[in-house]
Amino acid sequence: SIGTGALAEVLLELGRSVSSWADRLLVVNGHGGNVDALRRAVPRLRSEGRDAAWLSCRTAEDARDTHAGHAETSLILHLHPDLVRVDLAARGCVRPLPQILPAMRDGGVAAVSPSGVLGDPTTATAADGERLWGSLVADARARLDGWRPGDDGMLR
pLDDT in tens, 80-104: 999 999 999 999 999 998 999 999 9
Write the pLDDT tens digit of every residue in 113-152.
999 999 999 999 999 999 999 999 999 999 999 999 999 9
Is residue 9 within a helix (H) or strand (E), and if so which, with residue range?
helix 4-18
Q: How far is it, in rounded angstroms, from Cα 1 to Cα 56?
A: 19
Measured from the Cβ of residue 79, the count of other Cβ atoms closer than 10 Å reads 13
Q: Taking the complete model, does pTM exceed 0.95, yes or no?
A: no
Q: Could you tell me if residue 30 is inside a domain?
A: yes
Same domain for 118 and 141: no
Supply the range of the domain harboring residue 76: 70-124
Q: Could you tell me if residue 130 is inside a domain?
A: no
Q: Could you tell me if residue 39 is inside a domain?
A: yes
